[in-house]
Structure 1
Amino acid sequence: MSYLPSFELTDQVVVVTGAGKGIGRALAVGAAEAGADVVILARTEADINETAGLIRDLGRKAYSIQADITNNEDISNAVKRIKVEAGSIDVLINNAGMNIRSKAKDVTEAEWNQIFQTNLQGAFFMSQACAEFMKENGGGKIINIASVAGLVALRTGVVYAATKAGMIQMTKNLALEWAEDNITVNAIGPWYFRTPLTDKLLQNEEYLQDILSRTPMKRVGELKDLVGASVFLSSEASNYMTGQTLYVDGGMTIYGF
């Protein structure tokens, strides 16, 4: 008898939103390295094509779909295409997200709506659409990319933090509701990672030192540090795990700032 479950994703179909660059691209390529075929959703065609090329270089199939997840019609059309072209949705990774770093007193209604629609509304309706298809196929896995900002108070912007806290709670509720359909729903909560969106911030030495002072491991995350958690939650190794948030944070939440 073997007790070691498989961490491979061979021939699974993994859907990644916001997969054109940064964290989404890393998770999409990591899924392909684990053996999956990958559906790449993003708004920018050039970014989609670049990610697709990296996946095909690994010998896996890449399905490119240009879509805006704040638009429910785009979501519906994307899922219809996935059904036809890929034939399955085994894993959904809700990665698409954004932030506008306004002080609370300066937040506009437009900023509030834009961040909520991207970070929380889009993730919910992608989950809803994909879960229906997963249920028809006997189950699946949903992974939400949350943030430590959903757990502790940070100077990242109140609206962003509210959406990530909402995502963590949404993860629990969806896990409870969809467990009977053999759909697990978990989240990953990153701290600071080097991405095209954070590079400029991290070039500020004072800002970087503030980040490192809150991080027991005294470094920011590299994109490859997230891939293991994503593959674990996508694979059969996490079959008895649902409603949880796995913090990949260099120990930051130990402090509870």
Structure 2
Amino acid sequence: MPSVSKTIPALFNLTGKRALVTGSSRGLGLAFARALGGAGADVILNARDAGKAAQAAAVLQEDGISATVSAFDVADSAGVAAAVADIERDVGPIDILVNNAGIQHRAPLESFTDADWRRLMSINLDGVFVVSRAVVAGMIARRSGTIINIASVQSELARPSIAPYAASKGAIKMLTKAMAGDWGKYGIRVNAIGPGYFRTELNEALVNDKTFSEWLEKRTPLGRWGDPAELGGAVVFLASDAASFMTGQTIYIDGGITSVL
């Protein structure tokens, strides 16, 4: 429990903490890592492609952020367990886990193949369980830790052609609650962030689709796409002592899109 004598800025200080961010070689994952590193945490970037993760780490290091790399596939249980053991041995205990790795696959639900369904679920849902299970063992032993799962506005809202993705993100919202219930007795907090529509490489086709962008901007109370940097405050808050009595919650950073019809 944090000291009640801490000043407000001190509550958000992550100096001395280590944060593992999955799927963080680009996009929202890299933005999460940058924010945590900017608040003082030592960040461990993860991707399946070690080269891409190393390039991202070099960019953060140029900005004075302590960044290392751990390459593994979140859906590979044995690989995850080995990678987490290596991190805890060579880098140090993992204090913060951000489960960001995820994929999208758009197709009509009636023609979605078994293989595509299983691939999406293995990363978006199974991967959160697999990585959390590996990391939480050390957190339980230390009686402290913070897990932040990345949900989505699709945890609440569906759109045509992305039903499996919406199902995976709806499950993340409930898995977050269940993790909080199971692991709170060990001093571990588990929350989620639900991003709306952000300008990233993965959304480039949608950003460049004039019809979709116009619809989205009209649908969103703030009238625009989000910038990945705008997620930084939420991830730092949830990782820090400022959120010491908060667990099992999902915060939507979406320009208001989940609040209106």
- Could you tell me the TM-score, scaled by structure 2's length? 0.95
Q: Percent identity?
A: 38
8 Å contact kept, 1:116–1:163: yes
Structure 1 residue ranges, 4+ long, deviating more than 6 angstroms after superposition: none
Residue 221 of structure 1 is matched in structure 2 by: 226
CA shift in 2, pair 1:245/1:156, >3 Å: farther
8 Å contact kept, 1:69–1:118: yes
| Residues 1:98 and 2:100 aligned together | no
| Residues 1:58 and 2:41 aligned together | no
SS across alignment from 1:20: coil
- Give the drift of 1:212: 1.2
| Residues 1:128 and 2:145 aligned together | no
Residue 203 of structure 2 is matched in structure 1 by: 198
The structure 2 residue matched to 1:20, chosen from 21, 25, 30, is 25
Residue 252 of structure 1 is matched in structure 2 by: 257
CA distance in 2, matches of 1:138, 1:55: 30
CA distance in 2, matches of 1:65, 1:40: 6
**Cα distance per residue 1:57-89 (max 9 Å; x no partner):** 233432211111111011101101111112111
- Give the drift of 1:51: 1.5
Q: What stretches of structure 1 of length at least 5 have no aligned partner?
A: none
The structure 1 residue matched to 2:15, chosen from 10, 23, 34, is 10
- Give the drift of 1:48: 0.3
**Cα distance per residue 1:158-191 (max 9 Å; x no partner):** 0000000000000000001100000000000011
- Give the drift of 1:2: 5.4
Residue 151 of structure 1 is matched in structure 2 by: 156
CA distance in 1, matches of 2:197, 2:37: 24
- Could you tell me the TM-score, scaled by structure 1's length? 0.96
The structure 2 residue matched to 1:163, chosen from 163, 168, 181, is 168
Residue 38 of structure 1 is matched in structure 2 by: 43
CA distance in 2, matches of 1:79, 1:122: 13
| Residues 1:174 and 2:179 aligned together | yes
CA distance in 2, matches of 1:23, 1:149: 16
CA shift in 2, pair 1:205/1:78, >3 Å: same
8 Å contact kept, 1:232–1:238: yes
CA distance in 1, matches of 2:87, 2:149: 19
8 Å contact kept, 2:109–2:161: no
SS across alignment from 1:240: coil
The structure 1 residue matched to 2:236, chosen from 218, 231, 239, is 231
Q: Which moved more, 1:50-59 or 1:86-95?
A: 50-59
Aligned-partner residue type, residue 163 of structure 1: S
Q: What stretches of structure 2 of length at least 5 have no aligned partner?
A: none
Aligned-partner residue type, residue 169 of structure 2: K
Aligned-partner residue type, residue 228 of structure 1: G
